Amino acid sequence: MTVLSALLYAKENFDHSIAIRYSCRMASCGSCGMMINGLPRLACYTQVNEFSASGLTVGPLEHYPLVRDLVTDFDGFFSKHQSVVPFLVRENQAEQETSESEYRQNGAELDEFLQFSYCIKCGLCNAACPTLANDSGFIGPQALGQAYRYVADSRDEGALLRLKKVDSRHGIWRCHFAGSCSFVCPKGVDPALAIQRLRRLVISKSKLDRPGAPLMPVHAAH
Ligand code: SF4
Ligand code: FES
């Protein structure tokens, strides 16, 4: 039995008022994140019998405003996600409107960002982040991971836009590299690595910006 099934059983049989958010029941939609024995986890992806010795305690995700019981407010989370321009940007907008447009990519180019594209926006990484515990304005590991996902995509031309956003007071330099975001991610995404790579790109870019420096596309600076 999963923790989600147990909670639904409790809701059906003992307390109809328990508030839970869920949808897919298969670790795909990212809706059922909660604190389970102190760690952010997906309730549909966690087995009750893991805790047969210790007992099981659930609570709402940390670092999010509480709505009720196990439901937290994700508006701020999605605003931060949107702030990093999480889609392919092309300098020629008209090109994207043409159905004949084709953006080719080889296997090595795909590997640059593939793991980051597995993010289901469950928000567990942000709940685990010690920086977000002290700085609610921090962009956070999820959005920074997605900033890198598009910066690293060879089809994208919006890297400078995103690097400017993340190279800010509440951006990449606030990360202490605790690595807890990557530890709790249920999809194998490594936001801590993404933040390190964004830092490297920002530093490379500032060197390239020096007068007399050769022009170089961002993808070449990885
Ligand atoms: S990076 Fe992982 S933990 Fe964070 S929102 Fe995406 S899937 Fe969830
Ligand atoms: S219910 Fe969809 S991820 Fe758990």
Q: How many CA atoms lie within 13 A of 125 on its CB side?
A: 35
Phi, psi of 133 (to 5 degrees): -65, -30
d(CA 151, CA 221): 11
What local confidence, expressed as pLDDT, does residue 105 receive?
Answer: 94
What local confidence, expressed as pLDDT, does residue 97 receive?
Answer: 77
Q: How far is the CA of 112 from the centre of ligand 2 (A)?
A: 27
The answer to whether the beta carbons of residues 87 and 24 sit under 8 Å apart is no
Please tell me if the CB atom of residue 32 comes closer than 6 angstroms to any atom of ligand 2.
yes
What local confidence, expressed as pLDDT, does residue 94 receive?
Answer: 80
Per-residue b or e along 52-87, where b marks 16 or more CB atoms closer than 10 Å to that residue's CB: eeeeeebebbbbbeeeebbbbebebbeebbeebbee
- Ligand nearest to the CA of residue 121, numbered in listed order: 1
* pTM score: 0.91
What local confidence, expressed as pLDDT, does residue 208 receive?
Answer: 58
Beta bridge partners of 33: 42
Q: Quick one: tokens of 131?
A: 């920086």
Edge-first strand order for the sheet with 33-36 is 39-42, 33-36, 58-59
What local confidence, expressed as pLDDT, does residue 206 receive?
Answer: 73
Q: Quick one: tokens of 102?
A: 């084709």
- Ligand nearest to the CA of residue 45, numbered in listed order: 2
What local confidence, expressed as pLDDT, does residue 221 receive?
Answer: 46
d(CA 16, CA 200): 51
Q: Which of 148, 138, 142 is nearest to 182 (CA)?
A: 142
Mutation to probe ligand 2, out of 2, 3, 7, 25 (largest number of atoms < 8 A from CB): 25
Q: Report, as ranges of residue numbers, the positions in the chain whose pLDDT lies below 50.
A: 213-217, 220-222
Question: From atom 8 of ligand 1, which residue's Cα is the shortest distance away?
Answer: 122
- Chain centroid to CA 151: how far? 14
